[in-house]
Chain A
């Protein structure tokens, strides 16, 4: 189980805006949780903070407990062992995650060589088996990244992520820039990961609807809603969740809010972060709302204070 308790990340001196603010999440084993939100809402920073891959300028507070152990303050040597064996990471960008100078097979096999001290030939043989599972041909192993399509590169990265059978898998925007046919391939890949816990970052709602079990919506560094997927898409609670669903082309591209000033500006991080764009904004919203529990769901909005 992975549990985040009040995880907060800021860059720079005290008083500067938080990139991630007081995020608490409990992710059970083999659960597929999708973090959704706009660019800059803190989704990727959250993953990087848990993995200990942020630069030294990042100030991280709170806890990230993996199997009963807080991994946020572990020494780098130990963290390196966790990355790859306990938590695998599929980086953002279908192409940038691969070294253009090395054949795909070498890169896919490398995690086993590093962590399990296997020989490269043996690791590549293991990679061949995994490739077929994700609909890729063995020939991919001999190819360089520039000869692979976006979808093939992305699936190669997923194979790289599952090579070591790490129980937890982090994926950062695995469908960014891919067309619907390629996105379906990624959905299929994720459906095959039955034994792994998945924490996936995306801004693609249709992808989340197809592949997630739970949805956590992030807005301006805060988690604003955490729901089962079905409930979320049937009846989103938070005004921002409602806005993103209404804005889907199939729902008529409805826009219920105006443009907002930049997020970190002035007092944007005080009170409810969404208040400047919210159509339900009231005086109460100048005060920061806690996460209210509404049945099995959680929502950060004063509208639900009485139901909690």
Chain B
């Protein structure tokens, strides 16, 4: 098991209601788990806690059996990466994209060979003409592919995708999903896919949890024949809590 989340709870300050109220789920290596829910249901909060951006109020998160404590240690930080909803804010607007994209090399203390870097970027549909520009000069789809390329340079084992396509047009969205599928097949990276698009979750995820007011209310699992079936037991367990 890659990640196990147990009875996760989160609230902002004492006496305030829990925005995440006892959520449990797991992610296996190379799997795509979806979390689906309306705005404000707590989807992004789960993703951001998992990425180590802020601590949970209660519960536990284990990565390969080891309990995670915030702040994550350096190695672990690169193993769980996150892709945000707004690609335009993922990059420093005052830096050329090439500089931003090369940051993982600095973090990993690896030499950055430009030819190698550009051929890696081509895999994501990013050309030399793209990286010479500033973020404001490119489209949302192009920027989101760059954010993905940068996250993948960290060689993550789990990538949290927080509504990565909700700001993109349909063609860019489909291209992005196909690219994510290819990367998963090649590297075995697991995805936590956060979305409010039911159809997209159905196409992309092997397991989907429906989140309502901080709790999972339903779970679907992809069974034989590629059909998603309602997992009544899992949902029942969640509701009992």
The answer, yes or no, to whether B106 is at the interface (CB within 8 Å) is no
Is the beta-carbon distance between B197 and A249 smaller than 8 angstroms? Answer: yes
- Contact status of A244 and B38, CB under 8 A, knowing A39-B141, A40-B139, A255-B178: no
The answer, yes or no, to whether A195 is at the interface (CB within 8 Å) is no
Is the beta-carbon distance between B174 and A253 smaller than 8 angstroms? Answer: yes
The answer, yes or no, to whether A38 is at the interface (CB within 8 Å) is yes
Is the beta-carbon distance between A178 and B174 smaller than 8 angstroms? Answer: no
Q: Hey, which chain A residues are within 8 Å of B178, CB to CB?
A: 253, 255
What does the 1/0 interface line of B202-222 toward A look like (CB < 8 Å)? 110000000000000000000
Measured in the bound complex, the distance between the Cα atoms of B177 and A248 in whole Å is: 11
The answer, yes or no, to whether A295 is at the interface (CB within 8 Å) is no
- Measured as residues with beta carbon below 8 angstroms from the partner, the interface class of chain A is 35 or more
Is the beta-carbon distance between B169 and A179 smaller than 8 angstroms? Answer: no
Partner of B196, one of A176, A179, A247: A179
The answer, yes or no, to whether B142 is at the interface (CB within 8 Å) is yes
- Contact status of A203 and B168, CB under 8 A, knowing A38-B139, A255-B178, A262-B138: yes
Is the beta-carbon distance between A39 and B129 smaller than 8 angstroms? Answer: no
Is the beta-carbon distance between B199 and A257 smaller than 8 angstroms? Answer: no
Partner of A38, one of B126, B127, B168: B168
Measured in the bound complex, the distance between the Cα atoms of B126 and A205 in whole Å is: 26
The answer, yes or no, to whether A50 is at the interface (CB within 8 Å) is no
Measured in the bound complex, the distance between the Cα atoms of B163 and A113 in whole Å is: 39
Partner of A178, one of B39, B130, B140: B39
- Contact status of A249 and B39, CB under 8 A, knowing A38-B169, A262-B138, A262-B142: no
Within 8 A of B (CB), among A1-55: 36-40
What does the 1/0 interface line of A151-184 toward B look like (CB < 8 Å)? 1000000000000000000000000111111100
Within 8 A of A (CB), among B117-131: 124-127, 129-130
Measured in the bound complex, the distance between the Cα atoms of B234 and A144 in whole Å is: 39
Within 8 A of B (CB), among A225-259: 240, 243-250, 252-255, 257-259
Is the beta-carbon distance between A149 and B39 smaller than 8 angstroms? Answer: yes
Is the beta-carbon distance between B170 and A149 smaller than 8 angstroms? Answer: no
Measured in the bound complex, the distance between the Cα atoms of B167 and A24 in whole Å is: 27
- Contact status of A254 and B174, CB under 8 A, knowing A38-B169, A262-B130: yes
Measured in the bound complex, the distance between the Cα atoms of B154 and A48 in whole Å is: 40
Question: How near does chain A come to B158, taking the closest CB pair, in angstroms?
Answer: 23
Is the beta-carbon distance between B38 and A39 smaller than 8 angstroms? Answer: no
Is the beta-carbon distance between A247 and B174 smaller than 8 angstroms? Answer: yes
The answer, yes or no, to whether B85 is at the interface (CB within 8 Å) is yes
Is the beta-carbon distance between B170 and A40 smaller than 8 angstroms? Answer: no
Q: Hey, which chain A residues are within 8 Å of B170, CB to CB?
A: 203, 205, 244-245, 247-248
Within 8 A of A (CB), among B159-200: 163, 166-175, 177-178, 196-200
Is the beta-carbon distance between B177 and A177 smaller than 8 angstroms? Answer: no
Partner of B129, one of A36, A38, A179, A261: A261
Question: How near does chain A come to B193, taking the closest CB pair, in angstroms?
Answer: 12
Is the beta-carbon distance between B127 and A40 smaller than 8 angstroms? Answer: no
Measured in the bound complex, the distance between the Cα atoms of B166 and A178 in whole Å is: 9
Measured in the bound complex, the distance between the Cα atoms of B163 and A178 in whole Å is: 11
The answer, yes or no, to whether A150 is at the interface (CB within 8 Å) is yes
Measured in the bound complex, the distance between the Cα atoms of B141 and A262 in whole Å is: 11
* Minimum CB distance partner of A252 in chain B: B203
Q: Hey, which chain A residues are within 8 Å of B197, CB to CB?
A: 180, 249
Question: How near does chain A come to B120, taking the closest CB pair, in angstroms?
Answer: 14
Question: How near does chain A come to B210, taking the closest CB pair, in angstroms?
Answer: 12
Is the beta-carbon distance between B85 and A177 smaller than 8 angstroms? Answer: yes
The answer, yes or no, to whether B64 is at the interface (CB within 8 Å) is no
The answer, yes or no, to whether B40 is at the interface (CB within 8 Å) is yes
Measured in the bound complex, the distance between the Cα atoms of B170 and A36 in whole Å is: 10
Partner of B140, one of A36, A39, A151: A39
The answer, yes or no, to whether A139 is at the interface (CB within 8 Å) is no
The answer, yes or no, to whether A56 is at the interface (CB within 8 Å) is no
Is the beta-carbon distance between A149 and B171 smaller than 8 angstroms? Answer: no
Is the beta-carbon distance between A40 and B167 smaller than 8 angstroms? Answer: no
Is the beta-carbon distance between B166 and A181 smaller than 8 angstroms? Answer: no
The answer, yes or no, to whether B133 is at the interface (CB within 8 Å) is yes
Q: Hey, which chain A residues are within 8 Å of B127, CB to CB?
A: 261-262
* Minimum CB distance partner of B196 in chain A: A179
* Minimum CB distance partner of B203 in chain A: A249
Is the beta-carbon distance between A262 and B133 smaller than 8 angstroms? Answer: yes
Partner of B138, one of A40, A180, A246, A249: A40
- Contact status of A38 and B196, CB under 8 A, knowing A150-B39, A177-B85, A177-B166: no
Partner of B200, one of A249, A254, A260: A249
Is the beta-carbon distance between A253 and B177 smaller than 8 angstroms? Answer: yes
Within 8 A of B (CB), among A113-150: 149-150
Name B residues whose Cβ lies closer than 8 Å to a Cβ of A: 37-40, 85, 124-127, 129-130, 133, 137-142, 145, 163, 166-175, 177-178, 196-200, 202-203
**Interface pairs A-B: 4 shortest CB-CB:** A259-B125, A39-B140, A38-B169, A247-B174
Q: What are 7 A-B residue pairs whose CB atoms fall within 8 Å in the complex? A: A38-B172, A40-B140, A151-B39, A177-B163, A255-B175, A259-B126, A261-B127
